[in-house]
A = this chain, B = another copy of it.
Amino acid sequence: MKAKLIDGKAVAEQINGETAAGVARLKNEHKLQPGLAVVLIGDDPASQTYVNMKSKKSAELGIHSEKRILPKETTQQEVLSIIEELNNDKRINGILVQSPPPPHIDEDAIINAIRPEKDVDCFHPENVGRMLNGEEDGFMPCTPYGVMMLLKYSGINPDGKHAVILGRSNIVGKPMMALLVQKTKGANATVTVCHSRTQNIAHYTKQADILIAAIGKPEFVKADMVKEGVIVIDVGMNRVKDASHPKGFRNTGDVDFKNVSEKASYITPVPGGVGPMTIATLMRNTLKACMIQNKIR
């Protein structure tokens, strides 16, 4: 393999170390402890796992955390009252509602009910708008923020580079575009966004200095679609059938890692690339929320 591997676990650990130090400083200097509330509606096993991972990581870093596990028949109004209670709870600086909620719940309405300064997922429209406007004292959504941190900690400066983003979801593609295009240190990329309606996608991927794949198609990006030396960030996480694996499937990204890694200069593995970053950036946002709410610089 030619490419340097971008080790998401190692970067996440470094960021978590910094977060833990920040949390300790808040405790010592201000007698404050950041608090995160995670709301889970229903009993989806994957969601339960994520919620538990978030609680565990909070505990490790010294962050107070609360799980609100609600039965799947909880009404919209009941969820909204719990959000309102958490909005007014001084121990809680960050609130997130594990996605996806059951179908009878209007997820947008729930997100809109979270007070923007506690919206550590950065899904509230006010925070999304502040991000697009380039306000630096706001939040960044966890996955795109994780990608920005992977670049930064790998010594990659997007300034003047051509970043090509595959995918235009509200969770990854669009905020990724918003973050990379900003006139600010660590951004300043020329940005192209490709998606399902793009004609001749390889025409764009071949131009990428930085290629960010977030389209949910297993191993979509092939070696002949990229140029020598490209930096590849693979946000995909797809389950594909594989009889040779004990479980009958394996997880793979949106990039044909085996072949693309022979041309790339840097590449993230899947798993172990972007994945571990999302909890690290959530913890970082929770710390930031506590500092903002308590007017600490």
Contact with B along A153-194 (1 / 0, CB 8 A): 000000110100000101000110110011100001111111
Q: Does A271 sit at the interface, judged by CB under 8 A?
A: no
Interface residues on A, range: 35 or more
**B residues near A134, Cβ cutoff 8 Å:** 170
Q: Which of the residues B135, B170, B181, B182 comes within 8 Å of A133, measured between beta carbons? A: B170
Given contacts A128-B128, A129-B127, A170-B133, contact A190 B199 (CB under 8 A): yes
CB of B190 within 8 A of CB of A181, answer: no
Given contacts A132-B128, A174-B178, contact A190 B190 (CB under 8 A): no
CB of A160 within 8 A of CB of B125, answer: no
Q: Does A250 sit at the interface, judged by CB under 8 A?
A: no
Given contacts A128-B128, A170-B133, contact A190 B194 (CB under 8 A): yes
CB of B199 within 8 A of CB of A160, answer: yes
**B residues near A57, Cβ cutoff 8 Å:** none
Q: Does A222 sit at the interface, judged by CB under 8 A?
A: no
Q: How far is the CB of A163 from chain B (nearest CB, A)?
A: 10
CB of A197 within 8 A of CB of B192, answer: no
**B residues near A189, Cβ cutoff 8 Å:** 197
Give the number of times this chain occurs in the complex, counting copies: 2
In the complex, chain A residues 106-164 whose Cβ is within 8 Å of any chain B Cβ? 124-135, 159-160, 162
At the interface, is chain A mostly helix, strand, loop or mixed? mixed
**A197–B160 CA distance with the chains assembled, in angstroms:** 5
In chain B, what residue has the closest Cβ to A207? B203
CB of A132 within 8 A of CB of B188, answer: no
**A196–B182 CA distance with the chains assembled, in angstroms:** 11
**A199–B196 CA distance with the chains assembled, in angstroms:** 27
Q: How far is the CB of A43 from chain B (nearest CB, A)?
A: 28
Q: Which of the residues B125, B197, B198 comes within 8 Å of A129, measured between beta carbons? A: B125
Q: Does A266 sit at the interface, judged by CB under 8 A?
A: no
CB of A195 within 8 A of CB of B199, answer: no
The residues of A with any CB-CB pair to B shorter than 8 Å are 124-135, 159-160, 162, 168, 170, 174-175, 177-178, 181-183, 188-199, 204
Of the A-B pairs whose beta carbons lie under 8 Å apart in the complex, a sample of 29, sorted by A's number, is A125-B125, A125-B126, A125-B129, A125-B130, A125-B133, A128-B133, A129-B129, A129-B130, A132-B175, A133-B170, A134-B170, A159-B197, A160-B197, A160-B198, A168-B181, A168-B182, A174-B178, A177-B177, A177-B181, A181-B195, A183-B195, A183-B197, A188-B195, A190-B192, A190-B194, A190-B195, A190-B198, A191-B193, A192-B192
**3 pairs of A and B residues whose beta carbons are closest in the complex:** A128-B129, A125-B129, A129-B129
